[in-house]
Amino acid sequence: MALKNKKEKDFSEWFTEIVSESGAKLADVRYGVQGFVAHRPWAVKIMRTYEQWIEADVESDGYEPILLPVLVPKKNIEKEKEHVQFSPELFWVERMGDSKLDEPLYMRPTGESQIYPMYSLWIRSWKDLPFKKYQSRISVYRAESTTRPFLRGREFMFFETHAVYKNHEGVLKQVTKDMKTCEAIVRKKLGIPFFFFKRPEWDKFAGAVDTFAADTLMPDGKVNQIASTHDLGQKFAKAYDIAFLDEKEQKQFGWQTTFGPGIWRIMAALVGIHGDNNGLVLPFEIAPTQIVILPVFFDKDKKAVDKKCKELEKILSEKFRVKYDSSENTAGWKFNEWEMLGVPIRLEIGPREIRAKKVTLVRRDDRKKITVSEKSLEKEIEKAAAGLLKSITKKAELFFDTNIRDAESFDKLKTILSGNRGFAKVNLCSVEIEGQACADKVQAETDGGKVRGTLYGKNEKATGKCVACGKPAKVIVYVAKSY
């Protein structure tokens, strides 16, 4: 059964439905605490797979896994005054059983204040550097006012790397490597397009020298930030005393960087960008079940069809993740169920296919049926898998590219953003702190349009005047509404 809400008409309701029990059963909000959801198996399997890809990538770059407690002493957050922005968002634990704690503990909103006090103990010499560790498969906690599964939660899945270098050069190289990780996994393996922006001075991660963030576009034209990497300079090192003795036995503070691919947000992008009105559309590599085998028969043919389906399942399972649906559900129910889950390839087997020694193959994205011989089945599956990824990537990139528009004036900017339709490129006087007043004006008068920053790796030169204040423009920035 197709989804009741249509993606192109009401994306918000469509997204809620596809995530819920009436859709692909990815998350259940009926847990009983706002912003805390029960993750269903299909979603967990998908997220674990690309999280494993990220783990493998960062480990190949020299990172090692660590795991720290969820509770953090109050004194830790106070060491970095610039983290005061987190104070209203913290969850506090004040009791243990019937006893009140001498000092309240907070649940980690991110990793710096829990990890860096340990780094100050673990790092001693220049020989320890670069010092590169990461945490994965953890949750963080923030008292968000509005919540939505995979886009904003009070508890959500988190991944973070933290590196310490001898000098700033090492940090800058690591930031570039982090961007390559996003390119290799998010764009090339998941088919999700994005821009990396250098955030303006007023929108950096608190305490960072520079913040670089990956923004994609959801079908309603709003931005979904799916990753960020930060040049922390020496600010956190000095706050938490992360120091080392150099070759001359002199104390030096480390240079730091942190990278956070958004495990939750990537899931939201995967669902929202590729999904259609029949359910999820998953790239072959990420799908928990890559191939579903469905029998098509009348009662008299059941035994022969069942035997052939089991035979194919056994052969294909040596190379792929395969499920033979031998349940008593009707064929129509099975087709709808596996389409809803986004299984990339469906194989239909009936008496006609058995006689011809062929298989009917259906690709999830275009739903076209082709007949292939059993001998060439593996080759055709691989071809279909590659074709599916290429097709959904092209479709996503087309939407992304056609939703980038030039706004030569403030009125044009307001027109573009009035329908939440993507990025508006505008001239701005500055992305340094003096430009914040213009950014605030943009946000206030476009009903939430936010300056995302300057495009990283492309020197776009401004001409003319700032759209907000009329002064000579120094930079081209991208403005969009976001979640």
CATH number, residue 63:
3.30.930.10
**pLDDT of 308 above 60:** yes
Shared domain for 328 and 181, answered yes or no, is no
* CATH code for the domain in which residue 467 is found: 3.30.110.30
**pLDDT of 84 above 50:** no
Name the token pair of 305. 């069809």
- pLDDT digits over 245-293, tens only? 999 999 999 999 999 999 999 999 999 999 999 999 999 999 999 999 9
Q: Is residue 4 part of a domain?
A: no
Q: How confident is the model at residue 470 (pLDDT cuts 50, 70, 90)?
A: very high
> How buried is residue 433: exposed, middle or buried, by Cβ count under 10 Å (0-12/13-18/19+)?
exposed
- pLDDT digits over 51-69, tens only? 999 999 999 999 999 999 9
| Closest-CA residue to 263 (of 186, 180, 154) | 186
Mean pLDDT across the chain, nearest whole number?
A: 95
One-letter amino acid identity for 150? F
- pLDDT digits over 332-359, tens only? 999 999 999 999 999 999 999 999 999 9
Name the token pair of 468. 């907000």
Name the token pair of 220. 């309603």
Name the phi and psi angles at 85, rounded to 5. -60, -25
Shared domain for 221 and 257, answered yes or no, is yes
**pLDDT of 80 above 80:** no
**pLDDT of 82 above 60:** no
Shared domain for 192 and 263, answered yes or no, is yes
Q: How confident is the model at residue 301 (pLDDT cuts 50, 70, 90)?
A: confident
**pLDDT of 220 above 50:** yes
Q: Is residue 280 part of a domain?
A: no
Alpha-carbon distance of 309 to 205, in angstroms, equals: 54
CB 286 within 8 A of CB 179: no
- pLDDT digits over 198-209, tens only? 999 999 998 899
Shared domain for 416 and 359, answered yes or no, is no
Domain-ending residue, one of 274, 308, 323 = 274
Q: Is residue 1 part of a domain?
A: no
Shared domain for 30 and 146, answered yes or no, is yes
Shared domain for 67 and 158, answered yes or no, is yes
Q: Is residue 392 part of a domain?
A: no
pLDDT value for 79: 81
Q: Is residue 281 part of a domain?
A: no
One-letter amino acid identity for 343? V
Shared domain for 80 and 181, answered yes or no, is yes
Shared domain for 223 and 183, answered yes or no, is yes
Q: How confident is the model at residue 1 (pLDDT cuts 50, 70, 90)?
A: low
Shared domain for 341 and 315, answered yes or no, is yes
Name the token pair of 337. 């169920």
Q: Is residue 63 part of a domain?
A: yes
Q: Is residue 396 part of a domain?
A: no
Domain-ending residue, one of 329, 355, 384 = 384
Q: Which residues of 285-297 are buried (b: 16+ CB within 10 A; e: fewer)?
A: ebbbbbbbbbbbb
Q: How confident is the model at residue 81 (pLDDT cuts 50, 70, 90)?
A: low
Q: How confident is the model at residue 297 (pLDDT cuts 50, 70, 90)?
A: confident
**pLDDT of 86 above 80:** no
CB 133 within 8 A of CB 256: no
- pLDDT digits over 404-422, tens only? 999 999 999 999 999 768 9
* CATH code for the domain in which residue 339 is found: 3.40.50.800
- pLDDT digits over 318-331, tens only? 999 999 999 999 98
Among 54-63, 174-183, 242-251, 292-301, the minimum mean pLDDT is found in 292-301
Shared domain for 158 and 215, answered yes or no, is yes
**pLDDT of 122 above 90:** yes
Number of domains into which the chain is organized: 3
pLDDT value for 85: 57
Q: Whole domain around residue 410: which residue ranges?
A: 404-480
Could you tell me what percent of the chain has a pLDDT over 90?
92
Cα dihedral 338, 342, 343, 345 sign: positive
Shared domain for 253 and 118, answered yes or no, is yes
Shared domain for 358 and 464, answered yes or no, is no
Can you give the pTM of this predicted structure?
0.96
**pLDDT of 160 above 90:** yes
Q: Is residue 56 part of a domain?
A: yes
Alpha-carbon distance of 212 to 193, in angstroms, equals: 16
Domain-ending residue, one of 274, 308, 326 = 274
**pLDDT of 239 above 60:** yes
CB 364 within 8 A of CB 345: yes
3-state helix, strand, coil in the chain (%, to 5): 35, 30, 35
Give the residue carrying structure tokens 């085998």. 293
Strands of 111-254 (E only): list them. 131-141, 155-165, 195-198, 210-217, 223-233, 243-245, 251-253
